Amino acid sequence: MRYVIVGACAAGLAAAEAVCSVDPSAEVTLLTEEPYPPYSRPLISYALAREIPVTLYDLPPPSPGQVRVRTSTRAAGVDPERKEVVLEGGHSLSYDRLLLATGASSRPLDLAGEGSTNVLGFRTRSDAEVLDREIRGGARTALVLGGGLVGVKAAHALATRGLDVTLCIGSDAPLSQVVNPEAGRKVAEALEDEGVSVRTGYRPSALEGEGGRVTAVRFDPPGETLRCDLVVRGKGVRPRTELAEVLGFGDRDGIPVDARLRTPAPDIWAAGDVARTFDVAWQAPRVNAIWPAAVEQGALAGRNMAGSHETYPGSLAMNSVKVGHLHLVSAGITRPPDGPYEVRDVWDPTAGYRRVVLRDDVLVGAVVVGTDGRPGPDRTGLLIAAIRRGARIGDLPFDPLADRISWSGFAFGREAVTGGRRGPAATLPTGDPVGKEVFR
């Protein structure tokens, strides 16, 4: 069977591996428009900050016998009738099964001058390399527009390189899409400590410059112009649905998929940052553009493409951000809309800042902010697993607002001892409840 996977990052690679694990005769072609062999996208901020060697970028290649990776190869369209992917330049590739793992791209500013050479997104290895070249070429001041996760990471990395960085945010705190403003303000403080100047209520209205380079950005509000050598877009991402849109589905909220991760078109699946899957916290379809979800979905889609019939239990947003001494973990719904939600917050010097969000007493979200590693991200997995399970707060064997989460909170049931490994059927003879759904 011939499998074509468009996209060779988290979702695409996991899918290729999964396909091969189920179908030993699979022939897999992985396409990426980027010129690099598969690399780890989130490392670009670490590489730009020179915190890691470039060799760390590389991801282990999928099994070479069965999988072919084609770099610098862009898919321009899909012909579902002929079961062909049309490549840029005219060639085409036939498939029996197709996976769209095209990910996402930095959201544009929608301003004139956006194409200037010193206005960059922060999504690809080449973005990081261009920024690095600019810094080595003498760039001293940078404006990061937008306080999304990527904006925060870019600003922090640029400040680490010694640039004069201003993070300009339209809303009143960074990470407004990810966490509540209280937690966001802790991030702003940490960024200031790391040498990033953070301006809230700054909306870019025009890019000023000449000769294909932007030299200043006009902000309205507050009605101020800031000079710059570099501009980085940090307003979050947009799913890359171009190929799907041609097929008649997919929009700015991603490609819709069913529980098996199939798109509406036959023999076409979607996974990763581009796919709108079921969100266990919101209990509604939603794109969760994070690495673990992309890997999970890619692997599941891959197995299903190769003949399995697995259902995806749903994704859950979660993020881990470190800025200087601050560490922030968030999961699920952190800024609940109006409705049957309850928010519990605590702030204490040892437990740090914590928030849990409940919907009808069911845990649906959490935020943990610590400094100096206390509380660290260490045991947040227990909390997040509880959100995934849809646990009621009263049933939790620990207080989710306390630092001292019981280490073994979810340690019952068969999965607890076998780690989810599927083996011959066996029950625990102790009379303990056999928790079938400890995880996934």
Interface contacts to ligand FAD, rule CB under 6 A: 6-12, 31-34, 41-42, 44-45, 74-75, 101-104, 122-123, 150, 153, 240, 243, 272-273, 289-292, 294
Whole-angstrom CA distances from 128 to 27, 53, 153 are 33, 13, 12
Q: Which of 111, 291, 343, 390 binds other proteins (CB under 8 A)?
A: 291
Using the rule CB under 8 A, which residue among 76, 346, 351, 411 binds other proteins?
Answer: 411
> Tokens 């078109």 label which residue?
265
Output 403-412 pairs: Cβ under 8 A, ≥24 positions apart.
Answer: 403/350, 403/351, 403/352, 403/374, 403/375, 405/379, 406/382, 407/379, 407/382, 409/382, 410/382, 410/385, 410/386, 410/435, 410/438, 410/439, 412/438
* Binder of other proteins out of 54, 56, 112, 284 (CB under 8 A): 56
Residue 81's SS3 state is coil
Site membership for other proteins, residue 355 (CB under 8 A)? no
> How far is it, in rounded angstroms, from Cα 69 to Cα 103?
17
CA angle 35, 41, 42 (to 5 degrees): 160
CB 74: neighbour CB atoms within 10 A?
Answer: 13
Residue 409 CB, nearest approach to other proteins (Å):
7
Q: Which of 46, 122, 219, 278 binds other proteins (CB under 8 A)?
A: 46
Q: Which does 241 bind (CB under 5 to 8 A by kind): ligand FAD, other proteins, none?
A: none
Of 119-127, 163-171, 248-256, 378-386, which part binds other proteins (CB under 8 A)? 378-386
**Which of 327/335 has CB closer to other proteins?**
327
Our CB check for other proteins shows the closer of 193 and 372 to be 372
CB of 424 to other proteins, least distance (A): 6
Q: How far is the CB of 12 from ligand FAD (least distance, A)?
A: 5
Q: Which of 90, 136, 419, 436 binds other proteins (CB under 8 A)?
A: 419
Inter-residue contact 208 to 218 (CB < 8 Å):
yes
Residue with nearest beta carbon to ligand FAD: 103
Residue 322 in contact with other proteins, rule: CB under 8 A: yes
Side-by-side strand order, sheet with 141-145: 119-120, 230-233, 141-145, 164-169, 196-200
Q: Count CB neighbours of 423 within 10 A.
A: 7
H/E stretch holding 75 reads strand 75-79
Q: Which is nearer to other proteins, 298 or 336 (CB)?
A: 298
DSSP 210-274: ETTEEEEEEETTTTEEEE-SEEEE-S-EEE--HHHHHHT--BTTBEE--TT-B-SSTTEEE-GGG
Cβ nearer to other proteins, comparing 48 with 244? 48
If contact means CB under 5 to 8 A according to the sort of partner, which of ligand FAD, other proteins, none does residue 117 touch? none
Residue 412 binds other proteins, judged by CB under 8 A = yes
| Per-residue interface string for the shown chain with other proteins, residues 296-315, x marking contact by CB under 8 A | x--x----------------
The footprint of other proteins (CB under 8 A) covers: 10, 14, 40-43, 46, 51-52, 56, 59-60, 291-292, 295-296, 299, 318, 320, 322, 327, 329, 331, 373, 376-382, 384-385, 388, 397, 405-412, 414-421, 423-424, 426-430, 438-440
